[in-house]
Amino acid sequence: MTWINFPNYALLTILGWIIGMLMNAIGKSNLVKQLGITLVILGQLVLTLFLLKLWMILDRPPMRTLGETRLWYSFFLPIIGLITYQRWKYQWFLVYSLLLACLFLGFNLAYPENYSKTLMPALQSPWFVPHVIVYIFSYALLAASSLVAIKGLAFHYFKGGESGHQTIALADNLVFIGFAFLTLGLLFGALWAKEAWGHYWTWDPKETWAFLTWIVYLVYIHIRYQHDQKELWALWLLGLAFVVLLVCWFGVNYLPSAANSVHVYTRD
Amino acid sequence: MIQQKRYNNPIWSNPWRYRESFFIVAGLLLCGFALEWASGGTGVPEFTNLSLNIAAGLLVIFIFTAGIFFRKQVFILWLSGIHAAIGAVTGITFMALLMGLTMQHDGYASGWVVQLGLSHVTSSWPYLLILVYLLVVLGIAATKRIIPLSTKNVTYILNHLGLWIVIFSATFGATKVERLEMKVKEGEIEWQAFDKKNNVWVEMPVAIRLNDFVLEQYAPKLGIVDNITGKILHENGKNVMLVDSVASGNMLGWDIRVLTYLDQSGKAGEAYYLNNETGAAPAVKAEAISENKSDTVVGWVSCGSFNHSYEALKINDQLSLIMFYPEPKKFLSKIDILTPEGETTAVELEVNKPAKVKGWEIYQVGYDDQLGRWSDTSVIEFVRDPWLPFVYTGIFMMIAGAITLFWSGRNNTPTDL
């Protein structure tokens, strides 16, 4: 049994996003651009509707499996893209975040996941939803920041020029907000762990990698405060940080050190 | 690139920068690994309470003295700066990375992995040394922002002092954490719990009477198994089907439909009937139709229980339909907590809902797995962590710090760097 109607919802969403994005990027008149944004928002609403429906059908928060967290990721990226676009007018950034969101939806389309209504007792907690939502929102922001870093690095090495302070300033904005949420997610996790398992931190492999992720972004923030001019350092560090984040998000599942982890996403 | 020129001065001459920072960290780690190797990989020995308290006290005194009275001294100035901070954080990252890549269990490793402490990083010498160094660096940096206090530094203090308090209390509190396991049978009273760490039975300050243990389960799931290898062909869960109201689906080309579902059943002859005796297992009468509709197999499937055997439905030479044991949905113990003063408190102990009594937290951890829903034994855990209030103080400071960081963003630049 796969997700009921998921392909229909996903295709509608992707259609709205892509057409809206193109209208916004290519359109000359303001009206066409605004219509494009409206289409993107409509696509977003379709995905929201699907998430709500899934939540109701499953009768539990759809946040347990890797595929489910990918859905939330696809949900948050366009929101971050839209806000960034509205606030700072970074059009390329809206394009990238929408493409990335499409990629993750596409991944779920290509590999339809089974859903299961069962939720182990340890996950039945008021902490479950805030912990996961805060984390995935943070991951989406930090992924966005690494897109900015890749653009900055590409500019530096292939166009032989400075990527400009604007690029790193956008990365900073995303990382600072993303890091705040990352910290909250980590601490919520600690408070929840105390309730569920009797201790707030047990160096479970997922926790170890969450700590590593946290600390690499922490270093980025310190480098940005203390060595304003070393933009190249910072950009490379953001790239590295994202690799660590990816290991934490799903790479942990494949690490031998995590064979006994409580955090490995169950796949049944 | 401009700053590189400054590195031309010889190492260890002022002002110190990243070179010196990384040398110090590398030196600490080397010393740590040497100590660990020399100890034969047994890790840091357990300190006595007294020596631990003295060590914690000395550390705090050193940090305060350095941060308040010697803050202008060149070495202390460097120690509280970015260069030392990045070095210390890199060191701890290195140790965490080792932890993230190696299974943290001495039983799964041997030889040099154990002797270098890689299979028990958190109790190894290099980890301890680098952690203390981090506490010193972070502590002095925080002290400098606390005295004199300024509203500009609030975010900085919340984040740095909060983190310092968490690491300090978690590190020095680690040896004080007590975790004891108690097994209680329905209708009985128990006051002894087992301390796995020290391998001793401990008499608790309260007794527990288990009045009732309740286990609720989800409906069972059906799956397909390979007749020859005995492997479950679940393909990441695609061939697993929960027996609920819409219990039909396609598994490996076979349309599977549930005809009858009995939550608890007993077998009589070839069929199953509703039965609620102890050990009555769920059973399903299922129909499997092959892809080209040429084959139809109908029969019973049951996962069995501790006193009933399981039953699989053979659908062809290669495959059989089987039932998994139902997963627990919720389990709880209805207990009375009895104190020596004669007080009785009734509590429903559940996963994620611990109880608190006399400085102990009581957790529902398990039951008799063999008996499942008929278990008359509940396994509960007593946990005491005297440093927990400090850890929570630090955590809440960091939560406040994260919120202010979110609020002010990049623009909040601390003073006097």
pLDDT at A116: 72
Query: Alpha-carbon distance A259 to A264, whole Å?
Result: 8
User: Is residue B246 a contact partner of residue B239, using CB atoms and an 8 Å limit?
Assistant: no
Query: Alpha-carbon distance A220 to B92, whole Å?
Result: 16
User: Does A47 score more than 70 pLDDT?
Assistant: yes
Q: How confident is the model at residue A259 (pLDDT cuts 50, 70, 90)?
A: low
Q: Which residues does chain A have within 8 Å of residue B242's beta carbon, measured at their own beta carbons? A: 116-118
User: Does A165 score more than 60 pLDDT?
Assistant: yes
Query: Alpha-carbon distance A60 to B408, whole Å?
Result: 35
Q: Is B291 helix (H, G, I), strand (E, B) or coil?
A: coil
User: Cα–chain-centroid distance for residue B238?
Assistant: 29
Angle at the Cα of B215 from the Cα atoms of B212 and B221, rounded to 5 degrees:
165
Q: How confident is the model at residue B248 (pLDDT cuts 50, 70, 90)?
A: confident
Give the gap in angstroms from C-alpha B97 to the nearest C-alpha of chain A: 7
Share of chain A above pLDDT 90, in %: 45
Nearest to B244 by CA among B226, B263, B231, B224: B263
Q: How confident is the model at residue B234 (pLDDT cuts 50, 70, 90)?
A: confident
User: Does A56 score more than 70 pLDDT?
Assistant: yes
Nearest to A197 by CA among B19, B340, B361, B337: B361
Tell whether A257 is within 8 A of chain B (Cβ): yes
B358: left (phi over 0), alpha (psi -120 to 50) or beta: left
Q: Which residues does chain B have within 8 Å of residue A227's beta carbon, measured at their own beta carbons? A: 3, 82
- B354 contacts A195? CB cut-off 8 A: yes
Average pLDDT estimate for B219-248: 80
Give the gap in angstroms from C-alpha A208 to the nearest C-alpha of chain B: 6
Share of chain B above pLDDT 70, in %: 94
Q: Which residues does chain B have within 8 Å of residue A224's beta carbon, measured at their own beta carbons? A: 410
Q: Which residues does chain B have within 8 Å of residue A199's beta carbon, measured at their own beta carbons? A: 177, 179, 383, 385
Integer CA distances (angstroms), B264 to A133, A215, B278, B280, B316, in order: 38, 51, 9, 5, 27
Average pLDDT estimate for B262-269: 88
Give the gap in angstroms from C-alpha A140 to the nearest C-alpha of chain B: 15
Question: For residue B330, how many other CB atoms are within 10 A of its CB?
Answer: 16
Test the A interface: residue of B410, B412, B413, B417 with most A CBs within 10 Å: B410
User: Reading across the β-sheet that carries B240-242, which strands appear in turn?
Assistant: B240-242, B221-226, B319-323, B313-314
Test the A interface: residue of B118, B222, B238 with most A CBs within 10 Å: B238
**Tens-digit pLDDT profile for residues A74-91:** 999 999 889 888 877 778
User: Is residue B258 a contact partner of residue B284, using CB atoms and an 8 Å limit?
Assistant: yes
- Nearest by CB: A176 against B101, B403, B405: B405
pLDDT at A2: 46
User: Cα–chain-centroid distance for residue B320?
Assistant: 37
Mean model confidence pLDDT for chain B: 89
| Tokens linked to A169 | 């300033």
Integer CA distances (angstroms), A24 to A82, A87, A166, in order: 12, 16, 21
B311 DSSP assignment: B
Q: How confident is the model at residue B3 (pLDDT cuts 50, 70, 90)?
A: very low
Which amino acid appears at position A225 of this protein?
A: Y
**Tens-digit pLDDT profile for residues B268-314:** 888 899 988 888 999 999 999 988 888 899 999 999 998 888 999 99
User: Does A20 score more than 70 pLDDT?
Assistant: yes
Q: How confident is the model at residue B141 (pLDDT cuts 50, 70, 90)?
A: very high
Q: Scanning the structure block, which residue is given the tokens 């060590």? A: B55
**Tens-digit pLDDT profile for residues B111-139:** 889 999 999 999 999 999 999 999 999 99
**Tens-digit pLDDT profile for residues A208-236:** 999 999 999 999 999 998 888 888 889 99
pLDDT at A1: 39
User: Does B194 score more than 90 pLDDT?
Assistant: yes
Domain boundaries, chain B: 2-147, 178-215+330-384, 219-326
Nearest to B365 by CA among B327, B412, B333, B324: B333
User: Does B263 score more than 70 pLDDT?
Assistant: yes
Segment holding A37, helix H or strand E: helix A30-58
User: Is residue B323 a contact partner of residue B310, using CB atoms and an 8 Å limit?
Assistant: yes
- B405 contacts A183? CB cut-off 8 A: yes
Nearest to B360 by CA among B204, B184, B171, B202: B204
Q: How confident is the model at residue A130 (pLDDT cuts 50, 70, 90)?
A: confident
Which residues, 6 or more positions from B163, have their beta carbon under 8 angstroms from its beta carbon?
Answer: B138, B394, B398
User: Does B236 score more than 70 pLDDT?
Assistant: no
ipTM for the assembly: 0.88
Average pLDDT estimate for B12-33: 92
pLDDT at A260: 64
Mean model confidence pLDDT for chain A: 87
Integer CA distances (angstroms), B40 to B108, B118, B122, B169, B273, in order: 17, 12, 16, 28, 62
Q: How confident is the model at residue B415 (pLDDT cuts 50, 70, 90)?
A: very low
- Asked which of A243-252, B4-13, B332-341 is least confident by mean pLDDT, the reply is B4-13
Average pLDDT estimate for B54-64: 94
Q: Which residues does chain B have within 8 Å of residue A84's beta carbon, measured at their own beta carbons? A: none
Which residues, 6 or more positions from B141, have their beta carbon under 8 angstroms from its beta carbon?
Answer: B67, B80, B81, B85, B160
Integer CA distances (angstroms), A16 to A22, A38, A100, B350, in order: 10, 9, 14, 45
pLDDT at A90: 78
Average pLDDT estimate for A187-195: 95
pLDDT at B375: 92
pLDDT at B246: 58
pLDDT at A93: 80
Hey, what's the torsion of the CAs at B244, B248, B249, B255, to 10 degrees? 150
Q: Which residues does chain B have within 8 Å of residue A267's beta carbon, measured at their own beta carbons? A: 234, 236-237
Tell whether A59 is within 8 A of chain B (Cβ): no
CATH, domain range A120-258: 1.20.120
Give the gap in angstroms from C-alpha B268 to the nearest C-alpha of chain A: 31
pLDDT at B4: 47
More confident residue, A164 or B362: B362
pLDDT at B237: 66
Give the gap in angstroms from C-alpha A18 to the nearest C-alpha of chain B: 30
N residues, chain A: 268
Which residues, 6 or more positions from B202, have their beta carbon under 8 angstroms from its beta carbon?
Answer: B180, B192, B193, B194, B195
User: Does A243 score more than 70 pLDDT?
Assistant: yes
